[in-house]
Amino acid sequence: MEPIAHIRTCYGEKFGVPRQPGLVDEAWGELVFEPEFRNADAVRGLDGFSHVWLVFVFHQAVRDDWKPTVRPPRLGGNERIGVFASRSPFRPNPIGLSVVRLDEIDLDHPDGPVLKLRGVDLVDGTPILDIKPYIPYADSLPDAVGGYVTGAPESLTVVWKAENDAVSSDTSSLITATLAMDPRPAYKSADSEREYGCVIEGWNVRWTVRGAELLVLSCKKD
């Protein structure tokens, strides 16, 4: 299989990317088709759907081998479960599946048609293998059982200690919402002295966590 598109997103590196789609509604993406698939007819009718499924490649997690068990963050990063009982990117075939909100189909974009998306959980440059419309009556299963995953993760209170006058309000909201999801590795969550960093919308953000608060220490253009 060959990618039909790549996605441009606000996340410049995989650390800091939300662990699931839809957790950070401010997280934007622009899906840009490869030249041979830039055909408005291929997305005809898609504007009638509010959400789409993206089938993609975990291109930064490709390995020569695989392991049958992984350590999901939801279990503290120490307990192992089967890889097929997880959404870990480290899989025999590094393929992912995310449902995201479709804001707009930009037919006038120089690389159009371009899909404008929200709630993405993908790093910038992720290859896209396929797009499918989200169909509520078939895809929404309110009585489904989530195994060891019960409800959305708890969020942190984000406190800006750094000056953010140069950061737009939209970008500030994006950074705050992303960091509130606590991107730290689960097995290091007790390390309250460690300073972390990630790149969000071109800003290099440095931060640490103390108790239930995440403190933004600096925010500079990458």
User: Over its length of 222 residues, how does the chain's per-residue pLDDT go in tens digits?
Assistant: 999 999 999 999 999 999 999 999 999 999 999 999 999 999 999 999 999 999 999 998 888 888 899 888 777 777 899 999 988 888 999 999 999 999 999 999 999 999 999 999 999 999 999 999 999 999 999 999 988 887 778 899 999 998 888 899 999 999 999 999 999 887 665 556 789 999 999 999 999 999 889 999 999 997
Instruction: Domain ranges for the chain, please list them.
Output: 5-139, 157-221
Superfamily designation of domain 5-139: YaeB-like (2.40.30.70)
**What is the amino acid identity at position 65?**
D
User: pTM for this structure?
Assistant: 0.90
Residues 6+ apart with CB under 8 A from 83: 66, 67, 68, 69, 70, 90, 91, 92
Ordered strands of the 213-221 beta sheet: 157-160, 213-221, 203-210, 196-200
